[in-house]
């Protein structure tokens, strides 16, 4: 099969022929139609996201058709359209294999009304946003701030929180505010510092919950006044000094999607249903051929591409 492979960290990746995955009893082999590109993909490639065994196929979010099922698999059958996370065998390829019971690699059936392109763009950002909103305890009336609200995780979190009746404020880059408000944000801004100044001047209240998708550890500490005493902060960047925040009566959590209950077939079913019923919009800005994956991943890392990008495998 054709796949995008690295033999060591920091390589751009090369498209080449490698052996097909060998079916295991508790796994499925999926013929991939689309692969979603996420920032974690270039972080894995560059050695910033843990050890890997080489040669390694890049990517993790997939949509496709079950080609073969192991003898211990009963939840899906050959011919089913499925989507999920292929962490071990990769997504930038014609075929991948996912074990049925792995918590860090959930997969499920794509519901009617959801395209392969949408499904491939959904697993990692959608499950991360869903898990963060749940962890923050977002319900009707929750005042939620999302820093980095225009990205794939942020835009999903805006919509999920809006659907729960939260009052959502998003911090975005210039020119992104209209789009984020159309997704359900009640307000947007382009400067955390201005928001902090307003809160410190007593002209606005701190938030019940904050989801920060972009800030470093020092910035998180500087911005602690964004969160009310007794409030919650979640970061996906893994930079929160949780004891430091606890001393200031803020419950801070470094979230890893793969360690949450939402990383499951049931979690995938929940977010896919939101897409199917229109309460969660997944916009794929571009579809690029598999052969161009190394270049596209570099462009994603450099911030040259706007919006979600899928690889078109077939």
| Distance between CA atoms of residues 8 and 283, nearest Å | 33
Tokens of 34: 């689309």
pLDDT in tens, 202-229: 999 999 999 999 999 999 999 999 999 9
> According to the model, what pLDDT value does residue 306 have?
78
On whether the pTM is more than 0.75, the answer is yes
Q: CATH homologous superfamily for 125-258?
A: NAD(P)-binding Rossmann-like Domain (3.40.50.720)
pLDDT at residue 290 in the model: 97
169: CB partners within 8 A, 6+ apart = 143, 144, 145, 146, 185, 186, 187, 188, 189, 195, 207
State the Cα–Cα distance between residues 125 and 40, nearest whole angstrom. 10
> What are the structure tokens assigned to 202, written together?
């007593």
Tens digit of each residue's pLDDT (9 = 90 or more) over 104-158? 999 999 999 999 999 999 999 999 999 999 999 999 999 999 999 999 999 999 9
Domain ranges of the chain: 2-122+282-312, 125-258
For residue range 268-289, list pLDDT tens digits in order.
Answer: 999 999 999 999 999 898 999 9
The C-alpha atoms of residue 203 and residue 3 are separated, in whole angstroms, by: 55
CA distances 261 to 45, 83, 267, Å, are 26, 18, 8
What is the domain class of 2-122+282-312 according to CATH?
alpha beta
3-state DSSP assignment of residue 211: strand
């Amino acid at each position: 099969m054709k796949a995008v492979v690295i033999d060591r960290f920091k390589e751009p990746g090369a498209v080449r022929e490698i052996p097909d995955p060998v079916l295991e009893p508790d796994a499925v082999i999926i013929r991939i139609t689309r692969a979603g590109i996420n920032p974690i993909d270039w972080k894995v490639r560059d050695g910033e996201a843990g050890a890997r065994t080489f040669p390694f196929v890049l990517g993790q979010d997939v949509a496709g058709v079950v080609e073969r099922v192991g003898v211990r698999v009963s939840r899906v059958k050959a011919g089913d359209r499925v989507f999920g996370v292929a962490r071990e065998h990769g997504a930038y390829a014609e075929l991948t294999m996912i074990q049925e019971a792995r918590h860090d690699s959930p997969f499920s059936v794509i519901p009617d009304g959801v395209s392969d392109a949408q499904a491939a763009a959904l697993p990692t950002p959608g499950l991360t946003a869903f898990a963060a909103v749940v962890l923050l305890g977002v319900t009707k009336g929750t005042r939620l701030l999302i820093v980095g609200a225009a990205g794939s995780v942020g835009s999903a979190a805006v919509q999920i929180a809006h659907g729960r009746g939260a009052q959502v404020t998003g911090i975005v880059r210039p020119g992104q505010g209209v789009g984020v408000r159309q997704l359900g944000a009640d307000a947007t801004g382009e400067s955390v510092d201005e928001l902090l100044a307003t809160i410190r001047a007593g002209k606005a209240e701190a938030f019940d919950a904050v989801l920060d998708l972009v800030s470093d550890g020092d910035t998180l500490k500087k911005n602690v006044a964004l969160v009310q005493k007794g409030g919650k902060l979640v970061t996906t960047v893994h930079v929160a000094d949780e004891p430091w925040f606890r001393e200031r009566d803020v419950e801070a959590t470094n979230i890893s999607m793969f360690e949450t209950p939402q990383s499951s077939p049931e979690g995938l079913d929940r977010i896919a249903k939101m897409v199917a019923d229109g309460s969660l919009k997944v916009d794929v800005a571009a579809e690029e051929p598999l052969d161009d994956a190394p270049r596209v991943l570099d462009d994603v890392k450099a911030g040259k591409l706007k919006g979600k990008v899928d690889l078109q495998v077939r």
